[in-house]
A and B are shown apart, each in its own frame.
Chain A
Amino acid sequence: DGGITQSPKYLFRKEGQNVTLSCEQNLNHDAMYWYRQDPGQGLRLIYYSQIVNDFQKGDIAEGYSVSREKKESFPLTVTSAQKNPTAFYLCASSIERRTAYNEQFFGPGTRLTVL
């Protein structure tokens, strides 16, 4: 059963704490992405990675960090520096970023709430 998994589905954290969101894919995709979705807004790119051990900042990287130690995994850490962390976080992957046809496959998402 191929796809992208994200865990947990719901996450609660206290203000001032760091939290890590998991994203795993078994599609053998090279590229992986993290998006944030807020009500009434589209998806905003946080970080992306085209290859293992390499990643780049997206449009709203401040307060977030990532790692890409394995092709299958792209965890996102929401740090205490992120001022408005409550949101729906979506992980996605695509075969290879630098191709013309690069549809993205999304995981089920993690809804983070800061208390």
Chain B
Amino acid sequence: GQQVMQIPQYQHVQEGEDFTTYCNSSTTLSNIQWYKQRPGGHPVFLIQLVKSGEVKKQKRLTFQFGEAKKNSSLHITATQTTDVGTYFCAGLNDYKLSFGAGTTVTVRA
């Protein structure tokens, strides 16, 4: 079945630095969604990418969808303490959403 792999599993970032988390699928995806889960909370939808090569920005967050629609990335610039949490990608294929294991981000002030 479809598998969505996410790396790294953990990301320790100095406040103010940039980092990127990557998502790879074993199959071509209809779209990819990103969610953020704060510690002790539930996943909250961030964005959805549908088109091949699509790039979307939300303030300091940049999301990309690969040309082959099998990979995606989330880049955060100038990390802040509010960025703490786990970021999940989720790939849609055949109307079924498959989640990656997530990247858990901690920030050193």
User: A residues touching B (Cβ–Cβ < 8 Å)?
Assistant: 35, 40-45, 59, 90, 97-98, 100-109
Count of chain B residues with a beta carbon within 8 Å of a chain A beta carbon: 25
Q: How far does the Cβ of A30 sit from chain B's closest Cβ, in whole Å?
A: 13
Known: A90-B43, A100-B30. A42 touches B48 (CB 8 A): no
Q: B residues bordering A, Cβ < 8 Å?
A: 1, 4, 6, 9, 30-31, 33, 41-45, 48, 50, 88, 90, 92, 95-102
Q: Which residues of A contact B48 (CB under 8 A)?
A: 101, 103
Contact B102 A104 (CB under 8 A): no
B50 touches A106 (CB 8 A): no
Pick the contact of A42: B1, B33, B102 (CB < 8 A).
Answer: B102
- Which residues of chain A come closer than 8 Å to B99, judged between CB atoms? 35, 42-44
A97:B43 contact, CB within 8 angstroms:
no
In contact, B88 and A43 (Cβ under 8 angstroms) = yes
Check if A107 sits within 8 Å of B42, measured CB to CB: yes
Expressed in whole angstroms, the minimum distance between the Cβ of A50 and any Cβ of chain B is 9
* A105-B45 CB under 8 A given contacts A42-B88, A59-B1: yes
CB-nearest residue of chain B relative to A4? B42
